[in-house]
Amino acid sequence: MKTKIDKADKLFSFYIRTRDKWTCQRCGEKHEERSQGLHNSHYWGRGRESTRFSETNCAAICLGCHRYFHAYPQEYYKWKLNQLGEKEFQKLEVSANMRCRKDRKLSYLFAKQLLKKLEKKRGENYYPDGIVRV
């Protein structure tokens, strides 16, 4: 069964890709803002509500690298372990195996706050729906 993507997912995905400067975190390829070729990759899939909106669970990954990781999950494991370090990876794994109640309104507000923090940190402005202000 395919996991439905809602506005909270879209905003959080925009946040992750913006946080990672529209650059693939595996190969380093830079993408145009709002590019469809750069994905928000969830190490633990979106079906796990407890890590669906976790910053440590997600990274901006290009389509090619995303396909590679799905084809070779052991490589994704090694990469994620290297990216986070043993302690953070273990925390993420524990979190992924916890049950969590679904609350899309709260998830949307959470993603919106993350984007606002990033705006303030970088001095950039984004509308809540992810459109860059001119």
Per-residue pLDDT in tens (0 to 9) along the chain, 134 residues: 567 889 999 999 999 999 999 999 999 999 999 889 999 999 999 999 999 999 999 999 999 999 999 999 999 999 999 999 999 999 999 999 999 888 989 999 999 999 999 888 887 766 555 554 42
Q: Hey, what are 14's tokens? A: 């925009």
Q: Is 73 strand, coil or helix?
A: helix
Domain spans of the chain?
Answer: 15-116
Distance CA 34, CA 48 (A): 25
Cβ 53 vs Cβ 3: under 8 Å: no
133, 126 in Cβ contact below 8 A? yes
CB 8 within 8 A of CB 103: no
Which residues, including other chains, have CB under 8 Å from residue 134's CB and lie 6 or more apart? none
